[in-house]
Structure 1
C-alpha cells in the first residue's frame, strides 16, 4: 500500500509534517491515512476503513497509556485520584486540538468539500481525532516505544502547567480527600473578614483542621478565597510538617 493508492487528492508534503512530529515513517501510508477524515473518504467512495477512525481508536489507547505512565514517573508521590484527574486535564478534546494546531495538522487533513467549507480544519473534534490518529499511525509504523516517545515529547511540557491549574481549581476537593484519608476528618472554612464596598469586596478566609490554621486566602468571592486557602494548605501539608504530626 502506498500513499498514492489511498487518495487522488493532493495535500501538502508529508515530509514537512514528519519534521514537525519529530518522527520519520518507514511507511508513510500510515501517516497519510491518519490525515484522511471520514468526510473525504465518503466523497471518494472509499470504504470506512480507508479513513482515520480506526487509527484514532488505536491512538486514543496509546495516548492514555503513555501519558499515564509518564505521569506515574513524573509525579511518584501523587495519589491515584489526582493522577487520574491530571491525565483527564491533559487528554481531552480541547487540549488535543491545541497540540494538533501547534503541529499544523489541519493543513494536512484531507476533508470532504462540505466539511472543508465549514472550517473543518479548525474544529476541535476533527483536530483532536487527527492527533490521536497520528499517535496510532506511529504505533503501527514504529511500535509502542516510538509512539510513547512522540506522546511524551508533546505532553510532558504541559505537566506542570496542568497540574498547577488543576491544583488551584480543585484544591478544596483535594484537601478534603487528603484529610479524610489520613484522619477520617475534613477541614472547615472560616470567614475571617471582608473589606471594600459591596460591589468590590475582598474576602479573607482561613481553612482549619482541629485547632490548626492550615492556610489562608483572599479573593473577590468567598468561593475563590476558600480555594486559595485550600491550595495554601495543600502546599503546607506537602512540607516537612503535616497536620496531626
Structure 2
C-alpha cells in the first residue's frame, strides 16, 4: 500500500513518533476507500480499540483527580469528554478531515466534515498510537490533546450530547428505561444508513437516521428532546 505524504504530515502535526506509519494510514482510511481498493485496511477495528483506550485513560485521570465526588459525577464528566461532539472538536483542531483517505463519492457528500467519520478517526488514531507506542505514550498523547476538553467538562461548559441530555431530563424524577433499537440499515457498506428508534419504558418516542449507529441514536434522542422542549416552552 502506497503511503501518502499527508500521512507523514499528520504524524508531524500530532508530534508523536509512530514507527509503523502504515498503522497511522489505516487509522485515517475510511471504509468507502477500502471498498474500492482490494486488500486495503480501514479504521473500523482500530476505532473499537481506541474507544476503549480513551475510556480507560480518562477514567483513570478522573479517578485520580476527582474520586471524592462520587461515581455519578465521574461518569457524567467522562461522558462529556469522550462523546462524539468532543472527539469532533479534537478532529477540527487537527484539521483531520483534510488527511482522511476516502472515496470520491464519500468526499462529495461531505465525508470530510461529517461528525461521525471524524470522531471515529480520532479514536482510530489513539489506537494506532497505543499499538505502536504503548499505553504510557498513548496516555500522554490523550491528556495533552484533550486538556481543553477535560477542563471544559470539569467546569460543565460542554454542550451535553442529546443521549445524555435525554437521560438526565427523563430521570429527574426517578429511574427510566431508555433503550435504542436498531430498526434497519440500508445502502452499501461505504454509504450505509442506520435507522434507530428510542424506547422510553418500552414505548417508542422517537426515531433517528445516521451514517453510523451512534449518529442515528443521537438523532433519535434529539427528536425526543426537542419535542419535550417545545411542549414545555
After TM superposition, the score normalised by the length of structure 1 is 0.61
Report the count of equivalent residues.
165
In the alignment, which residue of structure 1 is the partner of 2:47?
56
Deviation at 1:160, TM superposition (A): 2.6
In 1, distance between residues paired with 2:74 and 2:157? 11
Conservation of the 8 A alpha-carbon contact between 1:11 and 1:109? no
5+ unaligned residues in a row in structure 2: which ranges?
A: 173-233
1:27 aligns with 2:20: yes
Conservation of the 8 A alpha-carbon contact between 1:12 and 1:107? no
1:121 aligns with 2:125: no
SS of 1:165's equivalent in the other structure is: coil
Conservation of the 8 A alpha-carbon contact between 1:11 and 1:108? no
SS of 2:156's equivalent in the other structure is: helix
Deviation at 1:168, TM superposition (A): 11
5+ unaligned residues in a row in structure 1: which ranges?
A: 178-245
**Aligned CA-pair RMSD:** 2.6
In 1, distance between residues paired with 2:93 and 2:86? 11
Which is further off, 143-152 or 69-78?
69-78
**Cα deviations across residues 191-223 of structure 1 (Å, max 9, x unaligned)?**
xxxxxxxxxxxxxxxxxxxxxxxxxxxxxxxxx
Residues 167 and 33 of structure 1, relative CA distance in 2, 3 Å threshold: closer
Deviation at 1:30, TM superposition (A): 0.8
Conservation of the 8 A alpha-carbon contact between 1:106 and 1:127? yes
**Cα deviations across residues 89-127 of structure 1 (Å, max 9, x unaligned)?**
110111101101111111110011111111101000000
Larger Rg: 1
**Cα deviations across residues 1-52 of structure 1 (Å, max 9, x unaligned)?**
xxxx2xx5x74432321232221111111101101100000011336xx111
Match of 1:96 among 68, 87, 103: 87
SS of 1:129's equivalent in the other structure is: helix
In 2, distance between residues paired with 1:15 and 1:168? 33
In 1, distance between residues paired with 2:48 and 2:34? 17
In 1, distance between residues paired with 2:9 and 2:123? 19
Match of 1:112 among 96, 103, 115: 103
In the alignment, which residue of structure 2 is the partner of 1:160?
151
SS of 1:25's equivalent in the other structure is: coil
**Cα deviations across residues 61-102 of structure 1 (Å, max 9, x unaligned)?**
000000111111222322111000000011011110110111
Residues 25 and 168 of structure 1, relative CA distance in 2, 3 Å threshold: closer
